[in-house]
Amino acid sequence: MDKSGKAYWKAVLTLVAQILAVWFIVSYGAGILFAPELNSINLGGYPLGFWFAQQGSMYIFVALIFIYSYLMGKIDQKFDVHEE
C-alpha cells in the first residue's frame, strides 16, 4: 500500500474511533455512569439521566450517522476516492 493509501486509512480509522468514542460516552456515560448527576436536571418533566437513557441516545446516534456520512465524504474528496 502506498503512502496515500495509508494516510487515507489512518484518516478513516481516526474518524471511526472518534465516532465510537462519542457513542460510548453517550450510551454508557450519560445513560449509566453520569445518570445520578444528570438526574438533578429535568427535561420535559423527566430527569435528564433517564431522558438520555431512553430518548437522547437515539437522537445522538442518528446525528452520528449523518455526521459520519458528511465527514467520510470530506475524507473521500481529500484523497480523491469519492464517487461522482
Coil, strand, or helix at residue 34? coil
Record the pTM: 0.80
pLDDT of residue 28: 85
23-82: pLDDT as tens digits:
998 888 877 888 888 889 887 888 888 887 778 788 999 999 999 999 999 999 999 887
Measured distance CA(68)–CA(18) in Å, rounded: 10
Task: Name beta bridge partners: 14.
Answer: none
Cell 458528511 sits on residue: 70
For residue 19, name the pLDDT band (cuts at 50, 70, 90): very high
- pLDDT at residue 7 greater than cutoff 90: yes
Higher pLDDT, 46 or 6: 6
What average pLDDT score do residues 5-13 get?
94
